[in-house]
Amino acid sequence: MNLLFASENSHKRDEIASLITPHKISLPTEIGIDYYFEETEDTLLLNALGKAMHLYKLSNKPTIADDTGLFVDALDGRPGVYTARYGEDVFNRSLSSFEKNEFLLENLKHVDKEHRSARFICTIALVLSKDNFYLFSQSLEGVIIDSQKGKEGFGYDPIFFIPSLNKTLSEISLTKKNEISHRGKAVRDVMVMLDSLSKEQ
């Protein structure tokens, strides 16, 4: 199946594409669609479904969208659904991933390492028509460390530490990340559904 990914985030697209073979995934701009969707919902599920439905209406093609949040226990679950825009209301401008990470670390500077538990939650919406869609959600538990480490990955990966690996997500390969990550697990759930649908056709 050929899917459109409701995002302009090529990093996310590459992660999903590496897992979704033999299905194909394209960005809207690659087929000439000028795509923009403002995330205004208060849950990951509604944001993911909103993005996928919006692109489906523009393209009339099967679409997939993800919304991922980082939930830090010591910050009462923040940044949560606002993960992608974290800190922008404080600085009144867009922030780079490095700046968002530093802002998060600043907010945790008085929290000891025993209380820095956090989790990524990824929700994926697969829209096949306006009345036919599926939702998937998976999580990854970890700890927020006190400085950025590693050169792989993107977003909050440099500060998200996996105790069982003794590494951040930015210190492991994409293959290993896809094996354990919230997004990797959710995409595999999508694959099970796509394979099931293919067998029914």
Name 152's Cβ contacts closer than 8 Å, sequence gap at least 6. Answer: 169, 170, 171, 172, 173, 174, 177
What is the arithmetic mean of pLDDT over 165-188? 94
pLDDT for position 10: 81
- 73 is an active site residue: no
If you ran DSSP here, which 8-state letter would residue 147 be given?
S
72-125 per-position pLDDT tens digit:
999 999 999 999 999 999 999 999 999 999 999 999 999 998 999 999 999 999
Q: What are phi and psi of 132, to 5 degrees?
A: -135, 100
Q: What are phi and psi of 154, to 5 degrees?
A: -160, 175
pLDDT for position 198: 76
Which is catalytic among the residues 34, 67, 131, 195? 67
pTM of this prediction exceeds 0.85: yes
Which CATH code for domain 2-200? 3.90.950.10
Contact assessment for residue 126 and residue 190, using Cβ atoms and an 8 Å cutoff: yes
pLDDT for position 96: 94
Q: Which amino acid is at 49?
A: L
Tokens of 195: 């394979």
Alpha-carbon distance 185 to 122, whole Å?
Answer: 9
pLDDT for position 201: 62
33-77 per-position pLDDT tens digit:
989 898 889 999 999 999 999 999 999 999 999 999 999 999 999
